[in-house]
Structure 1
Amino acid sequence: MRTFVAIEISNDDVKNAIKNFQKNLKIDAKSIDVEQLHFTLQFLGEISEELAQKVMESLQTIKFSEFTINLKGVGAFPKPRFPRVVWIGTDKEGGENLIELAKKVQNVLKPLGLISDKPFKPHITVFRIKKKIGDITKELNKQRLADFGIQKISSIKLKKSELTSNGPIYSDIEEVAAVK
């Protein structure tokens, strides 16, 4: 099964702000359904049921406290002149907390042979771009200071991703709650 460790965006006000951003950004790209928005702490790829069980056990050992992040700022990977993804970022402190949490995930999964292929950058993908659409720097600059609101981070999830012709379908496998 194709899997990843994520933090979901659950605040309805944040989701509505992102939906408005997606509607108003005039680019030729596929927007991500707001019900699927998340931070990918670590992509695991195809893993067996047996390994998934070990991943769940390892994730349950992670201890973290609840925290909040402010979703703000927009950008594109690899860059606005040749975009493949449009993303929303976070405030500095929230981003640092997410990086720390991603490191905890990476540290408990490393002994299982699951190593991240790139450093974690705090962002949520809001558009995927399949074809060349040209430079979107101007459009992004208009939204550069956009503030999408505050999201509470109170759990991480192991999620399964099924690829379909209409896009991926995500389902929860395991949830690890923050320490109260």
Structure 2
Amino acid sequence: MRVFVAIEITSDKIINSISKFQSEININAKPVELHNLHFTLQFLGEISQDVVEKIIVALKSVKFSKFMVDFKGIGVFPKLKFPRIVWIGTDEKGGKLLTELAKNVENVLLPLGFTVDKPFKPHITVFRIKNKIGDIEKELNKFKLIDFGTQEITGFKLKQSVLSSNGPVYSDLIEVKAV
């Protein structure tokens, strides 16, 4: 099964702000469905059920406190001239705490053979771009000062992703709550 560790976006204010942004920006891209918005702490890929059981035990050992994250800033991966992903970022303090949590997840999964291929960058993917659309900097600049809202981070989940022709379908395997 295909799995990843994520923090879901649950704040109605943030979801509504993102929905408004997705409908107002003028780019040729596929918006991420609002119920699928999340921070990916670590993508684990295709794994067997017995490995999932070991991951669950490891993730349950992660201890962290609740914290607040302010959703703001817009960017793209890999670069403005050739965007494939449009994302929303975070404030500095919330981003730092998300990064620490991602590092804790990484550390407990390392003994199971899971490594990260690039450093964690706190972001929520809001658009995926299939075709080459060129430089969208001017369009993004219209929205760069939006503050999408604040959410308390109270836990993270191990999620399964099933790919379908209509996009990914996510289901929860386990939730780890803040202490």
Name the structure 1 match of 2:9: 9
**2:97 alignment partner, SS class:** helix
How many residues get paired? 179
Q: Does 1:46 align with 2:71?
A: no
Q: AA paired with 1:132?
A: K
1:80 Cα deviation (Å)?
1.6
Name the structure 2 match of 1:63: 63
Q: Does 1:160 align with 2:157?
A: no
**2:56 alignment partner, SS class:** helix
1:134 Cα deviation (Å)?
1.0
Q: Does 1:146 align with 2:146?
A: yes
Q: Does 1:29 align with 2:26?
A: no
**1:135 alignment partner, SS class:** coil
**1:5 alignment partner, SS class:** strand
Q: AA paired with 2:16?
A: N
Give the TM-score normalised by the residue count of structure 2.
Answer: 0.99
Identity %: 61
**1:117 alignment partner, SS class:** coil
Provide the rounded CA distance (Å) in 2 between the counterparts of 1:14 and 1:140: 18
Name the structure 2 match of 1:103: 103
Deviation string 1:132-175 (CA, Å, 9 cap, x unpaired) is 01110001111111110001100010000000011100000000
Deviation string 1:61-101 (CA, Å, 9 cap, x unpaired) is 00000001000010110112110000000000000000000
1:117 Cα deviation (Å)?
1.2
Name the structure 1 match of 2:20: 20
1:2 Cα deviation (Å)?
0.3
Name the structure 2 match of 1:73: 73
Provide the rounded CA distance (Å) in 2 between the counterparts of 1:64 and 1:176: 10
Name the structure 2 match of 1:124: 124
Provide the rounded CA distance (Å) in 2 between the counterparts of 1:145 and 1:13: 16
Provide the rounded CA distance (Å) in 1 between the counterparts of 2:76 and 2:22: 14
Unaligned 5+ residue runs, structure 2? none
Provide the rounded CA distance (Å) in 2 between the counterparts of 1:123 and 1:75: 9
Q: AA paired with 2:28?
A: D
Provide the rounded CA distance (Å) in 2 between the counterparts of 1:81 and 1:27: 13
